[in-house]
Structure 1
Amino acid sequence: MSEFIGSIWWLIVSLGVLVTFHEFGHYWVARRCGVKVLRFSVGFGKPLWLRRGKDGTEYVVAAIPLGGYVKMLDEREGNVAADELEQAFNRQSVWKRIAIVVAGPLANLLLCVGLFWAMFVIGRPDYAPVLGQVEGIAAAAGLHRGDTVLAVGERDTPTWSEAQLALIPAALDHSDVPVRVRTESGNEVTRTLRLSRLPTAFDERRAVEAAGLIPRHLLVPASIGRVSPDTPAWGVLAEGDRITAIDGEPVTRADEIYPLVQKLGERGSPAMVEVQRGDDRLALELQPRRLVKPDGAAYWGLGIELARPKEPAKDAVLRYGPIAAVPAALREASHQASELFAMIGRAFSGRVSVQNTVAGPITIARAANAYAHHGTAWYLSMLAMLSLSLGILNLLPIPILDGGHLLYYLIELVKGSPVSERVMAAGQYVGLALIAGLMGLAFYNDIVNNLVR
């Protein structure tokens, strides 16, 4: 299955699961409150599948799988027979209406906990949190290559993903954080990582690397896959050579080669490129030349293409037993919810770019496909985060969202009467404008992050 088809498939599956649970929450509570449900639809548009239940509800799977809805009997949307007035949504008490509205987001929050529980029970394979390269702020803190990260702040880090998730918020906030590690000699020590010393502006997507931390599993050998004819490397370097240093600068990762070659090219003089060829270590003199990429951009290059590295085998797993997974899932959902609110706060305060905060359907689809390829547990963890995000987003006090309706009902409780139709209509326009703006930002970020870069 190609990445494009896979991304579309997993986006549909993900949205289908999340929307079904969300709308089922509204449906289930509405029925328990005595409200007649006319239609339960997963998707919008023309029905692809329709079945009418004994209760009169139409159950629909529609053609456009980008949402869903529960249509309830309501006098504001059409004539209601006299014998059905008690089943109309608008005739219910304010507390029942609040319960029905809250049920959708609450279903997503419960689903989030359930998905995290399943992830913990299945076990999510990952990499051990062992440091492979330490420099800059991390080196100044006393961390060393071979240290195993046991905890960041109050959060235990049994895997590298856990360590990364704990370090990123601290880096974004420029907050110093204690890091407990086990050294190669077996001693446990705590070092203070001075993230307050990070530059004001840095690539938020590489926050951990900006702090000088590179995990062991990312130290992929820089092996040459192909040498282009009529280039500086032709006849000097060979397929299979592993570059170990350029002009005296050690090379431990493939992404270190390009900046070193650019620096060497700008200097305009030859230098030694050290390689491992079989059992031999060689130092070969090379001088970069100005080359041209297929898109016409010029760069300093040697004329080599690196071999595609094999993904290292995962050497750690995040797993709990069925009982222990219950509190673990609750803690994880609570922690991720607080981090989500914190990220929203950072975006509004300008501490992080909204370009890296608001994701559109292209980004979500590609992420769903990538997580699914990593295994069931990884996909469940992503689905849990999406469910949490959907639940919290719908609780925001924006008209046309569940949170907007909830706001109207809370006002009704305070003032003793429903919000006027005029106010509700104005709120609908404001809500549509806000949602349209948010969707526009999401699509813009998709284009910039996935199609331009």
Structure 2
Amino acid sequence: MSEILGSLWWLIISLGVLVTLHEFGHFWVARRCGVKVLRFSVGFGKPLWMRVGKDGTEYAIGRIPLGGYVKMLDEREYEVGEALAQQAFNRKSVWQRIAITAAGPAANLILCVLFLWGMFVIGRPDFAPVVGSVNGIAAESGMRRGDTVLQIGDRVTPTWSEVQMALIPHALDRDDVAVQVRSENGSQLTRHLRLSKLPASFDERRAVEVMGLSGRHQLIPAVIGRVSPGEAAWGVLAEGDRITAIDGDPIASWNDIAPAVGRLGERGGNAMIEVARNGDRLALEIAPKRMKRENGEEFWGLGVAPPATIGEPKRDAVLRYDPIDAVPAAFRESVHQARELFAMIGRAFTGRVSIQNTVAGPVTIGRAANAYASNGPAWYLQLLAMLSLSLGILNLLPIPILDGGHLLYYLIELVKGSPVSERVMAAGHFVGLALIASLMGLAFYNDILNNLVR
């Protein structure tokens, strides 16, 4: 229940901030262009609170907090007296109307840069970009445990989050990519990750895992939480033992146990298992047994399991810049994320990625906002930056009823020298409403599929 309430709260806060500042962009430029603003509302529906400012504008907070709007004087909607006619939106030049319309998305793009600047200055706690376990394609490509990932393609990777964000686009495109690493012995090398070998279809949300990579922080310590009665380890190992070696093979994490036990079982006979127990180092004799998983599959096992609850790994890296260096860094990151967003839209339209993982609804956004906020202010600012960028770019799409659709009308007006006919605008609004309704339906469907059905 707490997660549901937290997700709802952060959804309202996030969208409230972004939409309000988007609408403020329209409001501020409209006022500078001499347009009379009738109402500035945060939220939709009947106002819960409203007051009239000295400028004659009604400032309101609506019952439905997910959105907002700016209502301007317009002769196409109201009968306007001659005294106020020059303050009507439709009386302004096409360039002024373009400026007013573009101000909302522009405000979101500016906010993206500001939020990222704040994130860089505060410092985002993260995990070091050190490889933990390697298998599959990553192992075949030469990646090794203990490699510190320095750069993927042309993107520097100071933290593990940057490693993931840099790898995912290449995985989606099945592009082989050069990975600059520093090995455990300190030498700098170039590994070539052969992502063209990825299967034709895979869970895009698990792209990095599918290619066979995990971070050092994702490794589970090789500490025994439970010993099954009657199995190989019963009477030999104890809860709390930390396994350090099996038959001479060093064990660094729980991931190393199964392969080592499998090799020991195939070899046959007893072997020594080394453990750390209460500050002592012990060498104990053990022989694995054939065991069965729930699906009936047989394997060599000891009959041990990790602790039921494992604490959160400690963050050992921080992505931070000083206030001056954070300015160009914020601009670079905004441009990079904008390119990636357009690329993702292109992948969705060409069918290279699932629409299920491209269009997010309010449930997904709320859960993400709650998770990011719980990780600290820097993480939440990063989420706000990405949402603001997405909102700005979405509104610039040339779909009637969106800002981009209105901008398209004004560009046509510049070319033909007269406004688009009301008949064309009405048809465009009908098409726009249908497209937006379809998009919203898809977003809610994805929410149900990704969050409620799982």
TM-score by length of 2: 0.87
Runs (5+) with no aligned partner, structure 1:
264-270, 292-296
Aligned to 1:137: 137
Corresponding letter in the other structure for 1:435: I
Aligned to 2:266: none
**CA gap 1:82/1:374 in 2 versus in 1, 3 angstroms:** same
Superposed, 1:206-221 pairs within 5 Å as: 206-221=206-221
**CA gap 1:397/1:310 in 2 versus in 1, 3 angstroms:** same
CA contact (8 A) 1:41 1:62 kept: yes
Counterpart CA distance in 2 for 1:250 and 1:353 is 41
Deviation (angstroms), 1:139: 2.1
Counterpart CA distance in 2 for 1:420 and 1:311 is 61
Counterpart CA distance in 1 for 2:124 and 2:35 is 42
Superposed CA offset, 1:82-109 (max 9, x none): 2000001111111111111000000000
Aligned residues: 440
**CA gap 1:31/1:304 in 2 versus in 1, 3 angstroms:** same
Aligned to 2:51: 51
* 2:308 matches 1:307: yes
Aligned to 2:453: 452
The range that moved more, 109-118 or 228-237, is: 228-237
Counterpart CA distance in 2 for 1:304 and 1:135 is 22
Corresponding letter in the other structure for 2:358: T
CA contact (8 A) 1:105 1:394 kept: yes
Counterpart CA distance in 1 for 2:255 and 2:80 is 67
Corresponding letter in the other structure for 2:193: L
**CA gap 1:133/1:289 in 2 versus in 1, 3 angstroms:** closer
The range that moved more, 135-144 or 178-187, is: 135-144
CA contact (8 A) 2:219 2:255 kept: no
**CA gap 1:145/1:304 in 2 versus in 1, 3 angstroms:** closer
Counterpart CA distance in 1 for 2:227 and 2:274 is 14
Counterpart CA distance in 2 for 1:218 and 1:194 is 23
Partner SS for 2:314: coil
Aligned to 2:348: 347
CA contact (8 A) 2:364 2:451 kept: yes
The range that moved more, 99-108 or 159-168, is: 159-168
Partner SS for 1:143: coil
Counterpart CA distance in 1 for 2:178 and 2:72 is 53
Aligned to 1:268: none
Partner SS for 1:69: strand
Superposed, 1:435-446 pairs within 5 Å as: 435-446=436-447
The range that moved more, 217-226 or 59-68, is: 217-226
Deviation (angstroms), 1:180: 0.7
**CA gap 1:187/1:31 in 2 versus in 1, 3 angstroms:** same
Counterpart CA distance in 1 for 2:226 and 2:208 is 31
Aligned to 1:420: 421
CA contact (8 A) 1:223 1:307 kept: no
Superposed, 1:268-283 pairs within 5 Å as: 278=277, 279=281, 283=286
The range that moved more, 98-107 or 2-11, is: 2-11
Deviation (angstroms), 1:138: 2.0
Identity %: 70
**CA gap 1:260/1:381 in 2 versus in 1, 3 angstroms:** farther
Aligned to 1:86: 86
Computed over aligned residues only, the root mean square deviation of the Cα atoms, in angstroms, reads 3.3
**CA gap 1:87/1:281 in 2 versus in 1, 3 angstroms:** farther
Superposed CA offset, 1:204-245 (max 9, x none): 111112222211110123656567999999999865466899
**CA gap 1:71/1:243 in 2 versus in 1, 3 angstroms:** farther
Corresponding letter in the other structure for 2:393: I
CA contact (8 A) 1:361 1:446 kept: yes
Counterpart CA distance in 2 for 1:171 and 1:34 is 50
Partner SS for 1:76: coil
Aligned to 2:38: 38
Counterpart CA distance in 2 for 1:129 and 1:41 is 45
Counterpart CA distance in 1 for 2:451 and 2:319 is 30
Corresponding letter in the other structure for 1:47: P
Counterpart CA distance in 2 for 1:155 and 1:105 is 27
Counterpart CA distance in 2 for 1:113 and 1:304 is 47
Corresponding letter in the other structure for 2:158: P
Counterpart CA distance in 2 for 1:399 and 1:235 is 73
Deviation (angstroms), 1:446: 0.8
Deviation (angstroms), 1:452: 1.3
Counterpart CA distance in 1 for 2:206 and 2:431 is 36
Aligned to 2:393: 392
Partner SS for 1:317: strand
Aligned to 1:367: 368
Superposed CA offset, 1:316-352 (max 9, x none): 1111111111100000000000000000001111111
Counterpart CA distance in 2 for 1:191 and 1:450 is 37
Partner SS for 1:387: helix
**CA gap 1:53/1:351 in 2 versus in 1, 3 angstroms:** same
The range that moved more, 216-225 or 334-343, is: 216-225
Corresponding letter in the other structure for 1:81: G
Aligned to 2:29: 29
* 2:382 matches 1:381: yes
Partner SS for 1:438: helix
Counterpart CA distance in 1 for 2:29 and 2:437 is 29
Partner SS for 2:84: helix
CA contact (8 A) 1:222 1:306 kept: no
CA contact (8 A) 2:244 2:276 kept: no
Deviation (angstroms), 1:276: 5.5
Aligned to 2:267: none
Deviation (angstroms), 1:66: 1.1
